[in-house]
Amino acid sequence: MSTKSDDDNHGDQLNPNYDEYWHSRGDDERPEDWEYQVSVRDDSKR
């Protein structure tokens, strides 16, 4: 059974608004152009 903090961490890793998203992808912090990077990633999935 997972705890609330585990669930929160998992959710943060899936949301580019949070530093944990970027940490889980190997970055030290959320980049300044994170909105652009997310839009480019989303466009490549189409």
Spatial contact of 22 and 34, defined as CB atoms under 8 Å apart: yes
Question: Does residue 41 carry a pLDDT above 90?
Answer: no
Sign of the alpha-carbon dihedral angle for 17, 5, 13, 39: negative
Distance CA 20, CA 27 (A): 9
pLDDT of residue 1: 64
List the beta strands (DSSP E) in the chain: none
Tokens representing 40 are 């480019």
pLDDT tens per residue across span 1-36: 679 999 999 999 999 999 999 999 999 999 999 999
**For residue 22, how many other CB atoms are within 10 A of its CB?**
17
